[in-house]
Structures are given as C-alpha cells and as structure tokens.
Structure 1
Amino acid sequence: MALFADHANAQTLRDPTLPSQGYVAVQVDSGSQQALVLNSIVNGQRAYAVINNHILSVGDTISGIGLRVSSIGQDSVTLSDGRKLQLFQSITER
C-alpha cells in the first residue's frame, strides 16, 4: 500500500526542468516582435548561452534579430543594445 501512496505524491510534484517558471521572455522593439528567451548558460573555459534554443558565445549574433551577445555572466547575458537577459529571474527576485 505504501507504494501507491508514494506514486500519488509523485504525481503532484512539479517537474523542475519545465520552463514555465524559470525563464525570461523579452519582446524585441523592432518589427519582428520575436521574444528572446534565455534557456541556459554553460560556464567553463569558454562561456556559452542558449538563447531561443541556439548556442551562442560572446560576439555571436542572434539570427534574424541582428543583436550581438556582449557578455555572458553566471546567471545573465548582456546584449549589444544594452538589454540584460536574466536566468531564473522569477526565482532570484524577491
């Protein structure tokens, strides 16, 4: 019987890998109206950011928008127009 109780509790837990609460969408003011979503950041010898499901590094251009990645931090990315995409903004802000 304990097996069934654990199974019922598992169904009520939220999957932490789902992006419903951990990403930021920024509207682009240009005519394209495409949202920028910072999916993840990988830090190592060279930092990479995943924006709109594309892997980018500093200096790369976001295709279709023309914005460059200026810097990649541990939890944010700065774009050439000065905007800053924050990773997990809804969790870290209080």
Structure 2
Amino acid sequence: MLPKKTSALLIAFLCSTLGFNLNAATLRDPTRPGNFSGNTTSVKASTNTSMVLNSIVQKGSSAYVVINNQIFTLGGKVNGVKIVHIGKDTVSLADGRKLTLFPAVTDLKGQ
C-alpha cells in the first residue's frame, strides 16, 4: 500500500486533472460557426454599391472609364447602373451619382 502522503497527492492530482478535463469540454471553439436557433430574422443581402473611378481615357469620339478596376464605355452598366456621361475627370450615372477622379490625379494633368 502507498504511504498516506503519496496517496493524498495522487488523489489530488487525479481530481485536478479530471476538473481540467471537465472545464475544457465546456469551452466553445471560437472558429466554429455559432449555433443558430429557428428564430432568425431574414436580412436582405446588401450589394456593395460603392464605386471608385480609377481612370478615364478619351481618344477622339470614344471614351473609356475604369471603375472598380473594370473597363466600361458610355452606355455601359456598372453594378446595374447606366453610364450616361463621361467627362474629362467625372462620370455621371443614371441614378444621379457623379464619380470624380481622385484630386491628386486631376492636379497632375496640366504639369
């Protein structure tokens, strides 16, 4: 039989190990998706409507614009919105928005 002191230490060790295992089992993995109940509300997926005018190229009567790193011409559609006017540093859209080149780009044109 083990001495009393060794038995007490062994029992304390086993109890603490068992306690750690129980605590670890109750922790939730933060990388797992959450548990969803049946009471979810429906949220309409929002489309990204922000547009960035990257550049404008005009040659003769044709003009091309780069919006969100994609090339478009007059009458083309960006995110479902028609391009109605292409100026030297602006683009007008059918929904009333007006996209302007970044000011630093327009300032360097004359230099």
Taking structure 1 as the reference length, the TM-score comes to: 0.58
- Please name the residue that 2:98 is paired with: 84
The equivalent of 1:73 in structure 2 is 87
The Cα of 1:39 is off from its aligned counterpart by 0.4
Paired residues, number: 62
Specify the alignment match of 2:41 in structure 1. Answer: none
Give the helix-richer structure, 1 or 2: 2
- Structure showing greater radius of gyration is 2
Mapping for residues 1-94 of structure 1, pairs under 5 Å: 31-45=46-60, 46-62=62-78, 65-89=79-103
Tell me the C-alpha RMSD between the 2 structures.
2.3
Measured against aligned partners, the alpha-carbon deviations of 1:38-84 in whole angstroms (never above 9, x if no partner) come to: 0000011201100011111110011xx21011110000000010110
* Structure 2 unmatched runs, 5+: 1-44, 107-111
**Separation in 1, partners of 2:81, 2:66:** 14
Identical pairs, percent: 46
Query: Relative contact order: is structure 1 or structure 2 higher (C-alpha 8 Å, sep ≥ 6)?
Result: 1
Q: Where do 5+ consecutive residues of structure 1 fail to align?
A: 1-29
